[in-house]
Chains A and B, each alone.
Chain A
Amino acid sequence: MQKSRLTISGELRGLLDYKELVRNLVVRDLKLKYKGSVLGFFWSLINTLIMLMVYWFVFTVVFYVDLENFPVYFILGYLPWNFFVVSLMTACSSIVDNGGLIKKVYFPRMIIPLSIVLSSFVQFLLTFVVLLPALWWFDIRLNFSMVALPGVMILHILFTSGVCFFVSTIYVYFRDTKHFLEILVTIWFWATPIVYPIAKVTGANAPMVVKKILLYNPMTQFINAYRDILFLSGFPSLRRWLALGAVTLVTLVIGFLVFHRQQPKFAETL
């Protein structure tokens, strides 16, 4: 007997029952993204390389900042960031975009933002793998610390999912959310050491507030974890792991609960 009201464990079981749907939605996303374009997947690669060149130009030619191995540093910040932002912006309106489906068929609604996060993760991973040989060229060798990479990635996915659950729920009630997010993301981008070295800011003469923002910014922690592993060839510190674990847990629980509470009302609100 199925009761009409869904418990949290029921919600989780539902996600498992519908894993086939998650898979199909991810595959559909990827297929549609590159269907009909000649260069297909290479566009996201080209995009990354262009961004790299622009920022490289700005920092080394215009501002004359001395950076060692800037391309590696940049890519390790930009790709994880891009995964996060693309997920966020697509997931934000996803419940509303799929309103027709939500009003007609029952399935665990969480699958919609979740499949978006996963499909942008797959793209992130592909770009990552293609760009990995470049590391070699910059004298960074494969090393044992890379076994920590999947751990960081899983936390990164869960954190992103939590945020996506939250914003996609809010967007159902407030369509301003997207505009607000666009601004937030721009500020957040510069509040994260993606294109500049963190040492420049955490130097002695930087204001305390700025340091705090950088330090407590979860994306800083994630990007630094990627850099710990692939740029500095070392394990992220225990402190970093704890910080990542805590921020992921809190975000995921809040996002999940907010979504879980509101999802029965989606069909009638849309």
Chain B
Amino acid sequence: MKAEPVIAGRNLSKKFTIHHLKTTNLKERILGMVHRKNYTRETFWALRDVEFEVRRGETLGLIGPNGSGKSTLLQLIARIILPDQGSITIDGRVAALLELGAGFNPDLSGRENIFLNSSILGFGRREIESKLEDIIAFSELERFIDTPVRNYSTGMYARLGFSIAVHVDPDILLVDEVLAVGDEAFARKCSEKFDLFRKREKTIVIVTHDLDAVERLCDRALLLHKGEVITLGKARDAIIDYHRLVARLQRRQEKDERARLKRQRDAAQSSAGTAGDGSGEDEETAEEQMEQVSYSEDRSRWGTGEVIITGVTFHNERDEEESDFRTGEKLVARIHFRAEAKILEPVFGVALFDRNGVQINGPNSYFCDYRIESIGPGTGHMDYIVENLPLLTGKYLFSAAVYRKDLRTPFDHHERSFSFRVIEGQVRERLGLVQLDNRWSLNSGGGQ
């Protein structure tokens, strides 16, 4: 079923002008006109030739690093700003949650603000009156609805704002980083509401840094970087591209940093009269290799490349390489790596998935309190050992990664790139994924 697009952007571009000397009063402006030098402007394109469509009933995630243009795009969809080039067409009523409770007046009561806020969103009094009770009930603010909102906590404020926005029944809902509202119970209600929206063929556009939420909620995702579309496709693909983009940016930053330090060092050395050593050469080749890793077309791999995982092999209890295992056997996943230089305190991580992509576990050496002082330069391997494999029959996918000690910078991450099978053995359990360490115990009341 292919529905018609409700939001369509055609080579959408948005330019911003930055005034480097902020001139807001007349005197400065006149002076600025006279001697032009004291006020320079710089234009930059917040969005460039963005081409996208959102169909009815679809949930689209907008992701990208800070300053990539996500929020600008959302503002364009909300008609808060207009494009400089290209066009955007929107079909339906839009409710924008760019800020929860935007336009709340602190001196008015919650109830009064419900009316004010929903009329800001463009909804009439009668519509709201019929939903007033629902809005109040959903926000869980029955007791406080007639007190001025200035006395509300941040959470109460956000809950009321969210409750209004989801009850005004828009065709298109725009959400900017507001998914985390209130406690866990409220968060669950919110995501139920989202599900309901999706079921009712509403269109949702979400801007968020929470990639888990994107994967969970969005059908598709749009990855932006410096105002340009990097990826528009399945949420999963866009997220992986995002990881790779971040890794690349980080590497570039580090390269710049190293270059800066090197320049400083060189400057210091040359002023001291000694010649620089030739260690820079090796560094270059390593850099090139890293570039290759992350520019490869392989979506399942990303990282800075300072450590490279050359492969993963699975071994049985006799340390023989093996691809089929039985439930209850010993399994050793051997992660082979190569490091170009000495790396301090790296962290190894693995993850297991079933054939449907359901994650079974995802431990890392750091959380298992296995501290590594350093690895490299050179090659080596790290073993992840499972003494009694609890998995039931089936094919399992395996991810392996090595990260910097900050646990956030991937040196090399292979997502579900390896696999092994669990074949039938003595175990007779069939349903589900794992065999737990369990037993049965009858305590019959009927007597015997």
Contacts and interface: CB of A to CB of B under 8 A. Distances in A.
Contacts of B122: 17-18, 21, 107
Contact of B87 (A3, A28, A35, A174): A3
A101 B98 CA distance: 10
A66 interface: no
Contacts of B96: 104-106
Interface string A159-183: 0000000000000001110000000
19 contacts: A1-B91, A4-B76, A4-B82, A18-B119, A21-B120, A100-B99, A100-B102, A101-B102, A102-B80, A104-B99, A104-B103, A105-B98, A105-B120, A106-B96, A107-B120, A174-B25, A175-B25, A176-B27, A268-B16
Secondary structure at chain A's binding surface: helix, strand, loop or mixed?
Answer: helix
Given A2-B91, A18-B119, A174-B26, 9 more contacts: A1-B91, A3-B89, A4-B87, A18-B122, A31-B112, A106-B78, A174-B25, A267-B80, A268-B81
Interface in B68-126: 75-76, 78-83, 87-91, 94, 96, 98-99, 102-103, 105, 107-108, 112, 115-116, 119-125
Contact of A103 (B80, B119, B121): B80
B262 interface: no
A102 B108 CA distance: 20
Contacts of A17: 122
Interface residues of A, number: 30
A105 B83 CA distance: 16
A264 B99 CA distance: 20
Nearest to B17: A268
B426 interface: no
B24 A104 contact: no
Contacts of B91: 1-2
Interface in A1-33: 1-5, 17-18, 20-21, 23-25, 28, 31-32
B26 A106 contact: no
B176 to A, nearest CB: 9
B398 to A, nearest CB: 45
Interface in A227-270: 264, 267-268
A50 B357 CA distance: 79
Contacts of B188: none
Contacts of B102: 100-101, 104-105
Given A176-B26, A267-B75, A267-B80, A106 B87 contact: no
A263 to B, nearest CB: 10
**A-B pairs with lowest CB-CB distance, top 10:** A104-B102, A21-B119, A176-B26, A264-B82, A106-B79, A20-B119, A104-B98, A104-B99, A24-B119, A101-B103
A112 to B, nearest CB: 11
B252 interface: no
A4 B324 CA distance: 59
A4 B89 contact: yes
B29 interface: yes
Interface in A79-127: 100-107
B416 to A, nearest CB: 40
B80 A106 contact: yes
A267 B115 CA distance: 24
B73 to A, nearest CB: 13
A32 B116 CA distance: 13
Contacts of A103: 75, 80, 98
A237 to B, nearest CB: 41
A92 to B, nearest CB: 15
A175 B24 CA distance: 6
Q: Which of A5, A104, A174 has the most CB of B within 10 A?
A: A104
Contacts of A267: 75, 80-81
Nearest to A36: B107
A237 B27 CA distance: 45
A2 B82 contact: no
Chain A CB within 10 Å — which of B16, B79, B108, B112 has the most? B79
Interface in A195-209: none
A31 to B, nearest CB: 7
A84 B33 CA distance: 34
A31 B108 CA distance: 9
Nearest to B16: A268
B116 A28 contact: yes
Contacts of A2: 79, 89-91
Contacts of A100: 99, 102
A250 to B, nearest CB: 25
Contacts of A104: 80, 96, 98-99, 102-103
Interface in B31-69: none
B21 to A, nearest CB: 15
A174 B28 CA distance: 10
B116 A24 contact: yes
Contact of B103 (A20, A35, A105, A176): A105
A105 to B, nearest CB: 5
Contact of A101 (B27, B78, B120, B123): B120
Contacts of A175: 24-25
B415 to A, nearest CB: 37
Contacts of A5: 82
A198 to B, nearest CB: 34
Nearest to A103: B80
Contacts of B123: 20
B105 A105 contact: no
A107 B75 CA distance: 13
Contacts of A101: 102-103, 120
Contacts of A31: 108, 112
A20 B107 contact: no
A267 to B, nearest CB: 5
A25 B105 CA distance: 10
Nearest to A32: B107
